[in-house]
Amino acid sequence: MSVILAIESSCDETSASVCVDGVILSNVIANQTIHEAYGGVVPELASRVHQQNIVPAVHQALSIAKVNKNDVDAVAFTRGPGLLGSLLVGVSFAKAFALAKNIPLIDINHMQAHVLAHFIGDHKPEFPFLCLTVSGGHTQIVLVKDYFDMEVIGQTLDDAAGEAMDKTSKILGLPYPGGPLIDKYARLGNPDKYQFPEPQIPGFDFSFSGIKTAILYFIRDNVAANPDFVQQNLNDICASVEKRIATILLNKLSKAAKEYGIKDIALAGGVSANTGLRESLRALCEKNNWRSFIPKLEYCTDNAAMIAIAGYHKYLKGEFVSQDVAPLARMPL
Ligand code: KG4
Ligand code: ZN
């Protein structure tokens, strides 16, 4: 039997999870609302709140799973990529726990964990599969050959898809984080009302800075003519922006699937919570006879369950790290 305690603290969510024999028994996520007032994550504040949240989150995760801390066999933690101060809190906690209990430490790459969230539950993709990982900091098409053998075949040259969502919402005067709000208003709007450009980037790479500028100018010009333009058309603007971002993402993903001849297609990362993107991927896969893998909402945005499942697969391989391990703000796949 294997009992893994997992910690995630790469950005502004403090999360702890317990996984027993590959089954997730708890996934506690403490959101940090303090950043809303600043319109984005303030790294210094994030570290301080992680420091306050981490012990209660771990206690709660153990208690929900009905696991005694003395029965934990290994501690998995996010090593990177992420905000260094945030990562340090999780890494230090994991080290201290492992040292006190004399159990192994397992380091996990946050972006690999987003992909490996698909191995929670019974509906699992088969290797090799393609995963579109879309978050606040990353936009990647990943060729997943094995649990820890992944190749980025396309990525953003500038902004991430989540960043485009968040910046659009800022332009529209909505509070942070904007992605979920764009999703909410888009459900009530007409996605074909406004047309935003689709960048022509070769290969499987993306660019989102052009669409951000196009939206900025579009809003500026329309508000100059009608100061109530945004309030009157919020749903249609959100629906049109969401549709364009989803089209940009899925056109490249579809091209990659055809070129690599792959029929198992997955979505991961915070933006995979987006209703329009989820529906469009489902439709694309049905049309092409591909199998789609779309994570449950709680495994889309940052969570420790994905760290736990990744940790379980490293535990089975006996891949541990020593106490001198350090977090990495940048960490390639
Ligand atoms: O993976 P994640 O939780 O954190 C990072 O590792 O970055 O992703 C956060 C991103 C944010 O940009 C947020 O606005 C976006 O995911 N997001 C969404 C939705 N939920 C979260 N974007 C669109 N629709 C959503 N429902
Ligand atoms: Zn993430």
175 and 309 housed in the same domain? no
Which tens digit of pLDDT belongs to each residue from 67-111?
999 999 999 999 999 999 999 999 999 999 999 999 999 999 999
Is 24 inside any structural domain?
yes
Which tens digit of pLDDT belongs to each residue from 128-151?
999 999 999 999 999 999 999 999
- Taking the model in full, what pTM does it have? 0.95
178 and 46 housed in the same domain? no
Is 179 marked as a binding-site residue? yes
Q: Residue 23 — pLDDT band, cuts 50, 70, 90?
A: very high
User: Which ligand lies nearest to the CA atom of residue 113 in the structure?
Assistant: 2
- Residue 48 reports pLDDT greater than 90: yes
DSSP secondary structure string for all residues of 151-212:
EEEEEBSSS-HHHHHHHHHHHTTPPSS-HHHHHHHHTTS-TTSS-------STT-B--HHHH
- Residue 176 reports pLDDT greater than 90: no
Which tens digit of pLDDT belongs to each residue from 307-331?
999 999 999 999 999 999 999 999 9
Q: Is 82 in the pocket of ligand 1 (CB under 6 A)?
A: no
Residue holding tokens 């260094």? Answer: 84
Which tens digit of pLDDT belongs to each residue from 232-254?
999 999 999 999 999 999 999 99
Candidate of 41, 114, 165 to mutate for ligand 1, largest count of ligand atoms within 8 Å of Cβ? 165
CB of 77 closer than 8 Å to CB of 307:
yes
Q: Pull the structure tokens for residue 66.
A: 């009905």
Q: Residue 56 — pLDDT band, cuts 50, 70, 90?
A: very high
311 and 294 housed in the same domain? no
Q: Which residues pair with 207 in a beta bridge?
A: none
Collect contacts of 25-28 with beta carbons under 8 A, ≥24 apart: 25/64, 25/65, 25/66, 25/67, 26/60, 26/61, 26/62, 26/64, 26/65, 27/61, 27/298, 27/299, 27/303, 27/304, 27/305, 27/308, 28/57, 28/60, 28/61, 28/64, 28/304
C-alpha span between 321 and 324 (Å, rounded): 8
Question: Residue 41 has what pLDDT?
Answer: 87
Q: Residue 36 — pLDDT band, cuts 50, 70, 90?
A: confident
Question: Residue 39 has what pLDDT?
Answer: 81
Is 270 marked as a binding-site residue? no
Is 324 inside any structural domain?
no
Is 101 inside any structural domain?
yes
Is 257 inside any structural domain?
yes
C-alpha span between 65 and 36 (Å, rounded): 31
Is 291 inside any structural domain?
yes
187 and 279 housed in the same domain? yes
Q: How far is the CA of 261 from the centre of ligand 1 (A)?
A: 29
| Complex ipTM value | 0.98
Is 323 inside any structural domain?
no
Is 162 marked as a binding-site residue? no
Q: How far is the CA of 150 from the centre of ligand 2 (A)?
A: 17
Atom of ligand 1 nearest to the CA of 110: 6
Q: Per the structure, how many domains does the chain have? A: 2
Polymer length in residues for the chain: 333
Q: How far is the CA of 307 from the centre of ligand 2 (A)?
A: 11
Is 262 inside any structural domain?
yes
The CATH number for 134's domain is 3.30.420.40
Q: Is 137 in the pocket of ligand 1 (CB under 6 A)?
A: yes
Atom of ligand 1 nearest to the CA of 161: 12
141 and 267 housed in the same domain? yes
Which tens digit of pLDDT belongs to each residue from 200-241?
999 999 999 999 999 999 999 999 999 999 999 999 999 999
Q: How far is the CA of 48 from the centre of ligand 1 (A)?
A: 22
Q: Residue 128, SS3?
A: coil
291 and 309 housed in the same domain? no
165 and 41 housed in the same domain? no
139 and 53 housed in the same domain? no
Which tens digit of pLDDT belongs to each residue from 270-320?
999 999 999 999 999 999 999 999 999 999 999 999 999 999 999 999 999
Amino acid (one-letter) located at 105: L
Give backbone dihedrals phi and psi of 123, rounded to 5 degrees, phi first: -85, 85
What average pLDDT does the structure give for the chain?
Answer: 96
Q: Is 270 in the pocket of ligand 1 (CB under 6 A)?
A: yes
99 and 225 housed in the same domain? no
77 and 196 housed in the same domain? no
Question: Residue 38 has what pLDDT?
Answer: 83
Could you tell me which residues come within 8 angstroms of residue 209 by beta carbon, excluding any fewer than 6 positions away? 158, 159
Is 221 marked as a binding-site residue? no
138 and 270 housed in the same domain? yes
Question: Residue 138 has what pLDDT?
Answer: 94
Atom of ligand 1 nearest to the CA of 242: 23
CB of 193 closer than 8 Å to CB of 236:
yes
142 and 269 housed in the same domain? yes
Is 326 inside any structural domain?
no
Q: Which residue range forms the structural domain that includes residue 74?
A: 3-115+302-317
